[in-house]
Structure 1
Amino acid sequence: MIRLIIGITYLLIGELNMCINEKFKLTILETSDVHGTVLPINYSDNSYSDCGLAILSTIISSERKVNQNTLLIDNGDMLQGTALTYFHAKISNNMPNPMIEAMNIIGFDAAVVGNHEFNYGRDYLENAIKASNFPWLCANITKKATGESFTNKPYIIKVLDNGLKVGILGLTTKYIPNWENPETIKDLDFNDVVESANKWLNIMRKQEATDINIVAYHGGFERDLETGNPSEKLTGENQGYELCTKVSNIDVLLTGHQHRVIENLCINGVLVVQPGYNGNCIGKISIDFVKSSGKWSIHKKMSSIIDANDRDVDKRILNSIRTIETATQAWLDIPMGQIEGDMLIKDPMKARLKDNAFTEFINNIQMDAAKVDISNIAIFDNQCKGFNHNVTMRDIISNYKYPNTLKVIRLKGYDIKEALEKTAEYFSLVNGKIEVSKAGGRFKLQHYNYDMWEGIDYVIDISKPIKSRVTKINYKNYPLKMDGDYDVVMNNYRAGGGGNYLMFKGKTVIKDIPIDVAELIANYIFERKTIKATVNNNWKVIY
């Protein structure tokens, strides 16, 4: 009898040890801010670049071979950003969406709505969602009429073979109304991500009994990751730090939007990761679980970045977009017209220090379309090269890559002055040398927020204090009247206050021109055939 009791005791202890020692590893892969990049090329000249879904797909396949318990989540800004996506959205959307085709082949488990998902309009986004073999998540963008999630999926629960319940909550920066065309989002509410996260994560933990909660947030960090001090103006655009410190029940926070590379970092016990942009790397979360008393718990978690350098391309992805890629390339090489003179941007910094033929030309097109005599534009990034002698659609899309439209808004003279002071903050003077400012801890260089104006004459003096740098503003040879009314044409992003140009927000819209600026440029050149490069030197930056 004693032997029997001892035997049963050893058996029970053995079963208990097995229960305690049961282990499990989960891998979570994150893409974010892919911005329409499928192939590893630059559409401006088709040169090779280590980036894109076709390369990331190879990495994903390798990771799945190592651990079949791998979840793949896209964190937003997938559908817009290259000539390929522009061609599909604006020229030939009867073809299958190349981004969704690639994502379906790769086998995403979920995707989050990013701010640029709205750029091609609601129908385009909703059609992409319908074509997806995976759910799109968004908890904090809700329908005004019903209060339901815009995508009807605030979160999903993935139950793995061993019973582990993984909750995935999707959140999107609430700042979208400051950028997007109001008509596109008029029936939607953009709620605070912290409030939404608290609500839904509580439901997921208590009602769904999740073992782990992953928050995929298309937004970044508004505070220094080590000190918690503000690293940018606290507008609500990037609330990642708040999510980590003010919300319960988060185990992992996937981030994006800022195009940063962040790995192996915990904030208040929440593991975070951010995987760059354009598919140049992928975020990886590794989580070890142990099971005790029938319940899984996290034993260890870490995050890392896998870059896309020197990787093979997944031929399945190449084949899936071959037809639309061929059509895109043919469209890009359609000749529009010719430039007489020099309209190249050889040095982006110099192009932002003194009036140049390229920005003057685009401003002239905007003023022609709007029938006003004041305009502003930006050189969006340092890949903008201006126009060679022969101009094709490739040149136009490479230089003007966003699907912006135009608005004419009525401003006071002091609004223009404030806007010029804002744009002057782009520069810093370091040891007598002018540089792009990193004030406020900017992580993504916001070249697209430096405006250059036509129709007024002005001087910016960087040697002077911020908000006192504009030393001259004339309109038609006379000083700008601070209380005067002026109609100014600009893109819809800026007209809505985008880039923290809040002096423009809510101003009277005199005219709305619902045609893509890239299309306006193409039509302008095509109709005239030959364009003469001119520079009237109406503005300059001194220091």
Structure 2
Amino acid sequence: MQLKQLQILVTSDIHGYIMPTTFRQKIEPLGLAKVGTLIEQLREEKPTILIDNGDLIQGSPLTYYHHAFQEHKLDPVIEAANLLDYDFAVFGNHEFNYGKSYLDAVIAQSNFPWLSGNITNEDGTSYTQPYLVKEVSGIRIGFIALTTHFVTVWEEPRHIEGLSFKDAYEFANFWITQVKAHEQLDLIALCYHGGFENDLITGETLEATTGENQGYKMCKELDFDLLITGHQHRELAEKLFGKSIIQPGTKGNCLGVITIEIEKCFDKQQIHHKPSLVYVTDETPVHEGIVQQNKEVYSATEEWLDVTIGQLDTEIHFSDAFSVRVQKHPYIQLIQDIQMEMSGAPISCTALFHDQAGGFPAKITMRHIINNYIFPNTLKVLKVSGRHIMEALEQNATYFTIDQNNQLRVSKSFYYPKPQPYNYDMWEGIEYVMDIRKPLDQRITKALYNGEPLQPEAYYEVVMNNYRATGAGNFPYFAECEVIKDIQIDMTELIARYFQDHPTVESKLKKNWDILY
């Protein structure tokens, strides 16, 4: 009997984190420089295929700085990926945040192919090659690339002009059929920048049937062997319907590994596969080549982040994000005021995007802004009916539940299978009361504009981020609203401009909403 082994190593949702820091703390167990060390160590053990499964180039202060000030230089994440010798990459939804021209430049800079099995050009051809066949240790594996087709819901149309995002499940089925007909393969792997819509153990539906995540349906209904996933930032290494599944977290906190063993005995062959995760730790050394490669842009980013650009009359910190969503905080007031001033809209809604401590000190730097406002949002002003505002408020009220001890808690759907604090909005310019003791869809007991009840058929100008304006987060009616104003400037830049326009900003708190429980 002959036994051979190979491994597939997977990163996903790196989000531009190269160095072991989120720029909040100095050193943290994450980043491509640390993951790179694990990759090099594991490569010494057996033949290897290295994959990135999407959301590679966008999301960190370093990539923000590079895009804003050094776009003429090579993308630093791609430089690191080239050094690590990736075999291919899959497009994530955030690959399109900087626009198609930037992404085309990234593709040209990459020493590896980018695959797109369900992204097509206007003429119906694939944007890039849809699949790739790799032969290692005598085993031929077909890798089919898929990206959540919800990109069109979230992304600015100008960033994806000329591209179509087809249903990921349907195109998984199509390409599985194609590779079986035209390729001699031992294994088929779906590399899907998407996640799971059902609980992996019980099969319980976890989210509405929107198509954003279709991994469970793929595993249950399609004939393939390995499912590499991402998007949800979960840490998964399991078997589902006989298939090995991997999802390796986010920001390079761990590396996905699928070990494949081939047993050959005379003319018979058996293939076994097993998924696992290898975690980055504080003790994991950094990859010195990547550190040296990124030394200049990292230092420039650190310096830029600490330049004072504005001042408050007092600090507005918070230690508990949940409390900010229960009782209005001056930080939220400030973001609402900025959105309303920069847009001219009389009503605003915004979320507190993360669950960490936050807020601003008296002296504001770009580090403070980016660490608090963590997404590359722009603003839109929509013409929204009173009825839809009421529906949005009721949707926000689903964020809360009351436990058996009569304590206010976050509803399960907002933290499992993926934390979604960014889908709970607070509103400004109206007065409202949420009573969490009441049944769903009956929790908004007061909603006033200028002291008068919101009129269902009347229309109101509302400013919100571009993500929410697409209807994402279970607000589908916003996608149908007329766009009155589209402000094509990143919100972090708007916050910086606001401080530059106001030498000293007064901390305010206008109480306009209450939560009863």
Per the normalisation by structure 2, the TM-score is 0.97
Question: Which amino acid in 2 is paired with 1:225?
Answer: L
> Which residue matches 2:514?
540
Q: What is aligned with 2:193? A: 218
Distance 1:498 1:37 in 2: 25
Cross-structure match for 2:96: 118
Which residue is equivalent to 2:17? 37
Aligned-residue offset at 1:296: 5.2
Q: What is the alpha-carbon distance in structure 2 between the residues aligned to residue 96 and residue 384 of structure 1?
A: 34
Is residue 98–residue 159 contact of structure 2 (8 Å, CA) maintained in 1?
no
Q: 1:198 pairs with 158, 168, 173, which one?
A: 173
> Which residue of the partner structure matches residue 18 of structure 1?
none
The range that moved more, 93-102 or 437-446, is 437-446
Q: 2 CA distance for matches of 1:127 and 1:466?
A: 48
CA offsets 1:225-283 (integer angstroms, 9 cap, x no match): 123221221211110011112212x11101111111111x2222211111111111111
In structure 2, C-alpha distance between the alignment counterparts of 1:49 and 1:122, rounded to whole Å = 32
Q: Secondary structure at the match of 2:337?
A: helix
1:54 corresponds, among 33, 37, 40, to 33
CA distance, structure 2, for counterparts of residue 511 and residue 485 of structure 1: 15
- 1:63 equivalent among 38, 42, 46: 42
Cα deviation code 1:125-153 (max 9, x no counterpart): 2211111111111101111x221222x21
Counterpart position of 2:323: 350
CA shift in 2, pair 1:457/1:440, >3 Å: closer
Per-residue CA deviations over 1:449-498 (Å, capped at 9, x if unaligned) read 11111100111111111211111111011111111110101111000111
Aligned length, in residue pairs: 515
Partner Cα distance (1:463, 1:89) in 2: 47
Residue ranges of structure 2 left out of the alignment (5+ in a row):
none
Which residue of 110, 114, 119 maps to 1:141?
Answer: 119
* Cα distance in 2, alignment partners of residues 519 and 276 from structure 1: 29
Q: Distance in 2 between matches of 1:125 and 1:234?
A: 30
Q: 1:492 aligns with which of 466, 483, 502?
A: 466
Q: Does 1:232 align with 2:204?
A: no
Residue identity opposite 1:329 in structure 2? E
Displacement of 1:91 in angstroms is: 2.3
Deviations 1:287-307 (A, max 9, x none): 111346767541x21111111
**Residue type of the alignment partner of 1:252:** L
1:283 to 256, 277, 290: 256
1:395 matched to 2:371? no
> Could you say which structure has the larger radius of gyration?
1
Structure 2 CA distance for aligned equivalents of residues 426 and 276 of structure 1:
24
The corresponding residue for 1:505 is: 479
In 2, distance between residues paired with 1:72 and 1:131? Answer: 18
What are the superposed Cα offsets for residues 320-377 of structure 1, whole Å, 9 maximum, x if unpaired? Answer: 1111111111111111111113422232111111222111111111111111110111
Aligned residue for 1:306? 278
The CA deviation string for residues 509-540 of structure 1, in whole angstroms up to 9 with x for no partner, is 11111011110100110121210000011112
Alignment of 1:343-422 (within 5 A): 343-383=316-356, 385-422=358-395
The 5 Å alignment of 1:416-431 reads 416-430=389-403, 431=405
How far apart in 2 are the matches of 1:387 and 1:449? 22
User: Are the counterparts in 2 of residues 286 and 303 from structure 1 also a CA contact under 8 Å?
Assistant: yes
> Is residue 172 from structure 1 mapped to residue 143 from structure 2 by the alignment?
no
Equivalent position amino acid for 2:183 in 1: E
Note if 1:96 corresponds to 2:68: no
- CA deviations 1:151-194 (Å, max 9, x no partner) are x211111123x542221111111111121112222322221112
Other-structure match for 1:154: 130
Local SS of the residue matching 1:473: strand
User: Residues 294 and 507 (structure 1 numbering): CA distance in 2 closer, same or farther, change over 3 Å?
Assistant: farther
| SS of residue matched to 1:306 | strand
> Alpha carbon RMSD of aligned pairs, Å?
1.5
Matches within 5 A, 1:242-257: 242-248=217-223, 250-257=224-231
Give CA-to-partner distance per residue, 1:181-238, whole Å, 9 cap, x none.
1222232222111211121122222211111111110111101112322122121111
CA deviation string 1:43-100 (max 9, x = no partner): 13x4321011111111111111111x11111111111111001111122212221110
Whether the aligned pair in 1 keeps the contact of 2:319 and 2:357 (CA below 8 Å) is: no
For residues 335 and 505 of structure 1, what CA distance do their matches in structure 2 show? 37
Contact 2:414 2:420 in 1 (8 A): no
SS in 2 for 1:460: strand
Letter in 2 for 1:305: L
Paired residue secondary structure (1:418): helix
Q: Is the 8 A contact 2:206 2:417 kept in 1?
A: no
For the residues of structure 1 that align with 2:155 and 2:327, how far apart are their CA atoms?
30
Q: Which moves more between the two structures, 435-444 or 370-379?
A: 435-444
Question: Which TM-score applies when normalising by structure 1?
Answer: 0.92
The range that moved more, 413-422 or 197-206, is 197-206
> SS at 1:301's partner residue?
strand
**Amino acid of the structure 2 residue aligned with 1:82:** S
Instruction: Give the CA deviation at 1:442.
Output: 2.0
Note if contact 1:232-1:440 (Cα within 8 Å) is conserved in structure 2: no
Equivalent-residue separation in structure 2 for 1:36 and 1:466 (angstroms): 39
1:463 maps to what in 2?
437
- Residue 11 of structure 1 is matched in structure 2 by none
Specify whether residues 525 and 138 from structure 1 end up closer, same or farther in structure 2 by C-alpha distance, changes over 3 A only.
Answer: same
SS at match of 2:257: strand
Q: Amino acid of the residue matched to residue 251 of structure 1?
A: D
Once residues 368 and 192 of structure 2 are traced to their aligned partners in structure 1, the CA distance between those partners, rounded to angstroms, is 34
Looking at structure 2, the residues matched to 513 and 240 of structure 1 have their Cα atoms a distance apart, in angstroms, of: 35
Q: Answer whether contact 1:221 1:239 (CA < 8 A) is retained.
A: yes
CA shift in 2, pair 1:164/1:346, >3 Å: closer
- The residue that corresponds to 2:428 in the other structure is 454
- Alignment match, 1:273: 246
537 and 503 in structure 1: CA distance in 2 versus 1, 3 angstrom threshold: same
Unaligned runs of 5+ in 1: 1-20
> What residue identity is the alignment partner of 2:175?
W
CA 1:487/1:440 → structure 2, altered by over 3 Å: closer, same or farther?
closer
Distance 1:135-1:529 versus aligned 2 partners, 3 A rule: same
Return 409-418 or 394-403, whichever deviates more. Answer: 394-403
> What one-letter code is carried by the residue in structure 1 that aligns with 2:29?
D
Judge conservation of contact 1:231–1:440 (CA < 8 Å) in 2: no
2:279 maps to amino acid: D
In structure 1, what residue type is equivalent to 2:302? Q
User: 1:441, CA displacement in angstroms?
Assistant: 7.5
User: Cα distance 1:83–1:153, how it changes in 2: closer, same or farther (>3 A)?
Assistant: same
**Distance change (3 Å), C-alpha of 1:538 and 1:370:** same
Q: Distance in 2 between matches of 1:529 and 1:295?
A: 76
C-alpha distance in structure 1 between counterparts of 2:355 and 2:26, whole Å: 16
CA distance in 2, matches of 1:510, 1:440: 30
* Whole-angstrom distance in 1 between the partners of 2:55 and 2:177: 27
